[in-house]
Amino acid sequence: MSPSTFQKNILCIGAGYVGGPTMAMIAAKCPQYKITVVDINPDRIAAWQTDHLPIYEPGLLEIVKQARGRNLFFSTEINRHIQEADIIFVSVNTPTKTFGEGAGKTADLQYWEKTARDILKASDSDKIIVEKSTLPVRTAAALERILHSNEKGIHFDIISNPEFLAEGTAVNDLLSPDRVLIGSRETEHGLKARQEIVDIYANWVPWERIITSNIWSSELSKLVANAFLAQRISSINSISALCEKTEASVSEVAYAIGQDSRIGSKFLNASVGFGGSCFKKDILNLVYIAESYGLFEVAEYWEQVVRMNEYQEHRFVRTMIAALFNTVSTKRLALFGFAFKADTGDTREAPAIYITRKLVEERAQVVISDPQAIANAKNDLADILSEVSFQQDPYLAAREAHAIAVLTEWNLYKTLDYRRIFQSMLKPAFIFDGRNILDRELLYKIGFNVYSIGRPPLTHFQD
């Protein structure tokens, strides 16, 4: 298809973990549309045009390659592309505010507002603006006010189309989503704009999985989905603490309750804690909104999900220190995994960041190993780089270590030769499985003192 015959010009502002993969999927599935992704970060844009994409996501390169140069383009020329676009997805970051009113809780919307003003300035025709970033409920109202302050007579329709992909499984989540949610104003204009976005997804998503709603329900549903998912993890993690005291096994409890179809089996893996750029940020956003409407009991209820996650991370470090005879000073400790979950190089809010810092404060020699996340880990620990070391190879990381802590559930760690690792470690050797992915009985037989989440430890010591 020649560039002039594309049916629509779609632009995405923000070429990150969401903007890049979602647009690549739309481009791959809809060759009739021209998709351009822009960003203020020229390095990111350059990387999207190579085979070394700026994010690690299994299967993504193949999707990008299907469309890149055909109907998928990456650029830093933001204004020119705004002008040409019929539909603009905005997928810029919305981190937690670090200053002023609402600091530490509400979303910092400065990138969003700047984008809205860029759109306003560069536009000379009507456009549909799609909220792809996760935003506090009622952001669309503020956005409408900014965009409709124009004196050019241009009409903007605002649509909420939150993204539900998870990192590491983004390609499959986009290819076959549980649902796509599209919210709009329920006016004639709003419904027409909603239909245009529905039509895009209908190219590959079955109709029954495309849900439409009013715009506020759509904005709020995104925050609530993340809050519910995180709540399950905090719930099972709270029970893991009780299991460690009572000789119950958290995996057995999770399995037993998960068989109840009303509860369901997913998202019940007890762990060192949830990480990722969104769970904490989105829950705190919900908390802030509830507080701002005077709903303090609602706010406290959800805030506890975050508090429980912090408790789990603290508890993990305390267990390590206590097991290692109450001192880790000068001890070599190998961390297996730094990414916030497997199959991503992303380390945003990874429990490993807190755990490393705590162990370094205790003067341990921390050695960090991860198949994909070492570059990001170096950025996260930039201020203490001289006090930690990095070793891609887990066998070398564990050599002469007192202990290993598994912090990310990479498959690689399930398949290592732990007999060989044990032989190379100082004795007594400890392993702290923060993801419950290892065979604890086997490790115990090999000679390790084994600490899992939600199980009493298996040690070779007599009390």
Would you name the residues annotated as active-site residues? 278
Half-sphere exposure (CA, 13 Å, Cβ side) for 239?
17
Q: Give Cβ neighbours of residue 66 (< 8 Å, ≥ 6 apart).
A: 27, 28
Q: Pick the binder of ligand NAD from 10, 18, 109, 353 (CB under 6 A).
A: 18
Q: Pick the binder of ligand NAD from 9, 10, 12, 19 (CB under 6 A).
A: 19
Nearer to ligand NAD, 376 or 452 (CB): 376
Side-by-side strand order, sheet with 388-390: 388-390, 365-369, 332-336, 403-406, 430-433, 449-452
Q: Pick the binder of ligand UGA from 23, 268, 373, 453 (CB under 6 A).
A: 268
The least CB distance from residue 436 to ligand UGA, in Å, is 10
Nearer to ligand UGA, 13 or 268 (CB): 268
- Scanning 75-83, 147-155, 158-166, 298-306 for contacts with ligand UGA by CB under 6 A, the matching segment is 158-166
CB 352 within 8 A of CB 338: yes
Nearer to ligand NAD, 116 or 407 (CB): 116
Q: What is d(CA 70, CA 434) in angstroms, rounded to the nearest whole number?
A: 45
Nearer to ligand UGA, 21 or 102 (CB): 21
Taking CB atoms within 8 Å and a gap of at least 24, the contacts of 350-353 are: 350/275, 350/276, 350/380, 350/407, 350/408, 351/271, 351/272, 351/273, 351/274, 351/275, 351/313, 351/316, 351/407, 351/434, 352/275, 352/377, 352/407, 352/408, 353/380, 353/381
Bridge partners (DSSP) listed for residue 369: 336
Q: 132, 116, 108, 110: which is closest to 12 by C-alpha?
A: 132
Q: Give Cβ neighbours of residue 48 (< 8 Å, ≥ 6 apart).
A: 15, 20, 37, 54, 64, 74
Give how many residues touch ligand UGA by CB under 6 A. 20
Q: Pick the binder of ligand NAD from 82, 92, 401, 443 (CB under 6 A).
A: 92
Nearer to ligand UGA, 164 or 444 (CB): 164
The per-residue DSSP string of 297-353 comes to HHHHHHHHHHHHHHHHHHHHHHHHHHHTTT--TT-EEEEE--SSSTT----TT-HHH
Decide if residue 165 touches ligand UGA (CB under 6 A). yes
Contact letters (x/-) for ligand UGA, 410-439, by CB under 6 A?
------------------------------
Q: Give Cβ neighbours of residue 379 (< 8 Å, ≥ 6 apart).
A: none
Q: What is d(CA 366, CA 387) in angstroms, rounded to the nearest whole number?
A: 8
Partner in contact with 91, chosen from ligand NAD, ligand UGA, none, beta carbon below 5 to 8 Å by kind: ligand NAD
Q: What is d(CA 302, CA 207) in angstroms, rounded to the nearest whole number?
A: 33
CB 324 within 8 A of CB 430: yes
The least CB distance from residue 236 to ligand UGA, in Å, is 7
- Scanning 15-23, 121-129, 361-369, 422-430 for contacts with ligand NAD by CB under 6 A, the matching segment is 15-23
Partner in contact with 41, chosen from ligand UGA, ligand NAD, none, beta carbon below 5 to 8 Å by kind: ligand NAD
Contact letters (x/-) for ligand UGA, 206-235, by CB under 6 A?
--------------------x--x---x--
Contact letters (x/-) for ligand NAD, 147-166, by CB under 6 A?
----------------x-x-
Extended strands (E) in 99-142: 127-131
Partner in contact with 353, chosen from ligand NAD, ligand UGA, none, beta carbon below 5 to 8 Å by kind: none
Q: What is d(CA 395, CA 425) in angstroms, rounded to the nearest whole number?
A: 10
Decide if residue 275 touches ligand UGA (CB under 6 A). yes
Partner in contact with 161, chosen from ligand NAD, ligand UGA, none, beta carbon below 5 to 8 Å by kind: none
Two tokens at 355? 């755990």
Partner in contact with 454, chosen from ligand UGA, ligand NAD, none, beta carbon below 5 to 8 Å by kind: none
Bridge partners (DSSP) listed for residue 269: none
Q: Phi and psi of 75, rounded to 5°?
A: -155, 160
Q: Which of residues 380-409 bind ligand NAD (CB under 6 A)?
A: none
- Scanning 12-20, 316-324, 370-378, 405-413 for contacts with ligand NAD by CB under 6 A, the matching segment is 12-20
Nearer to ligand NAD, 93 or 452 (CB): 93
What's 16's DSSP letter? S
Residues at the site binding ligand NAD, with contacts judged by CB under 6 A: 13-19, 38-41, 44, 78, 91-94, 111, 114-115, 133-134, 163, 165, 167, 277-278
Residues at the site binding ligand UGA, with contacts judged by CB under 6 A: 134, 163-167, 226, 229, 233, 267-269, 271, 274-276, 278-279, 340-341
